[in-house]
Amino acid sequence: MTAPAPCPDPTSSQDLAPRAVFGLGHMGGGMTASLLRAGHPVLGVDPGPVPTPGGARRVSAAEAIAEAEVLVLSLPGTAQVDELLPDLLAAPGPRLVIDASTCPPGDSRRRAEVLAAAGHLLVDAPVSGGPAGAATGSLTVFLGCPEERLAEVLAALEPLAAQVHHIGTTGAGSTAKLLNNLLCGIHLAAARALHGAAEASEVDLDRLLAALNTASGRSAVTEVNLPRWVLSDSYDSGFPVGLMTRDVGLAADLTADLGVSSPLVEAARSMWDELLRTTGPRDDFNRMVTAR
């Protein structure tokens, strides 16, 4: 039996081969801009009314898969990634699929196995850094990738990321992203008590944060989220309540499936579910801190 052809090696592409980006929302649109800035022609795919980033060419999913050998997925969830499988399996040659969507790890592994049988490589590469990081090519990537394919995947990610953390093989990146967002969700839920206690006791929150951020209770929430988006009353981080609620729920399911959940995890899930019911899915996720 003839072995399947290897996926394209982006390190050998001196003519800057085209890239395809699936999902042109806040994150995918920013990734498209970063790829264009690096000199890649970009094919954009999105069935919704979002605008096409300047310089990208809007095409169908089938056209993008036919023309580009490296595909970046920035989709709402696992169902939308699954919808691409038939077109991927019909691709004319091997494809490198970089899935930056947030999905259950088991789903990432399943898709990787299906696509590997057709000669393709799917890696899970969910990101942190928000729309600003996507637009400036400074994302943090949690990467699940076979060790032997790491060099080519790192080269493909170079225009998009300031930091790439190779967690392990396929599925490990999704696990890391969900656990990261679980911790962030717990910290934001805890910060609601911090904010409320400061108000009730008439303690200046700016001074309180300045002290806490030199001590063991600090976190990215106290160092970044509270000063930038809560105390400023801007609530414009670009990450909505709906997505954080989804991620906390997926992380709670993951820990439960692994037999390592805790009452704290379930309490966080409950608080985010309640915030979603209160605010709706589109409000900024930092509203958790001031919700009453």
Q: Would you name the residues annotated as active-site residues?
A: 177
SS (H, E, C) the chain: CCCCCCCCCHHHCCCCCCEEEECCCHHHHHHHHHHHHCCCCEEEECCCCCCCCCCCEECCHHHHHHHCCEEEECCCCHHHHHCCHHHHHCCCCCCEEEECCCCCHHHHHHHHHHHHCCCCEEEECCEECHHHHHHHCCEEEEEECCHHHHHHHHHHHCCCEEEEEEEECCCHHHHHHHHHHHHHHHHHHHHHHHHHHHHHCCCCHHHHHHHHCCCCCCCHHHHHHHHHHHCCCCCCCCCEHHHHHHHHHHHHHHHHHCCCCCHHHHHHHHHHHHHHHHHCCCCEHHHHHCCC
